[in-house]
Structure 1
């Protein structure tokens, strides 16, 4: 009878997760980019980021680099950013 399970069914399941809570900028962006480069084309990475500068800077920097942002969810104490390893990289 878990209601939380039904709320996550609309989100695509990530191929990998990267917990960068507590990691400062720009290290969190660099680690995200390195992890994406290790993944197969089309794979989905979910990155956990702190509020404030990390959630403001990392998605923007990824977009500039050409990575498609698939989703961003506020989970209370952190944000879950979903980004795809596209063909261009």
Structure 2
């Protein structure tokens, strides 16, 4: 399990898709979520405006919960998604 300091969200799995472009950003995210148990949390690292809009939206449309998003100064975004049941 990946964990951060007490003020940050914890995650069961991590996925770095900063080098991917749409539609592969969500394809890789969906494959990771498919391998997880309901209720587990996936931390996704992504980059770019299109993935930042599309990955959380598509995850929510598929019944997963977007818990948090953090943007860094370098343009990367950390996105925590809880797998739905």
The TM tier, using the shorter chain, reads 0.7 to 0.9
Q: What value does the CA root-mean-square deviation take over the aligned residues?
A: 1.4
Residue matched to 1:62 = 59
TM (norm. structure 1) is 0.84
Runs of 4 or more, structure 1, over 2 Å off, are: none
Rg: which structure is higher?
1
Number of residue pairs matched by the alignment: 81
TM (norm. structure 2) is 0.87
- The runs of 5 or more residues in structure 1 that have no matched partner are 1-6
Q: Which has the higher strand share?
A: 2
- The runs of 5 or more residues in structure 2 that have no matched partner are none
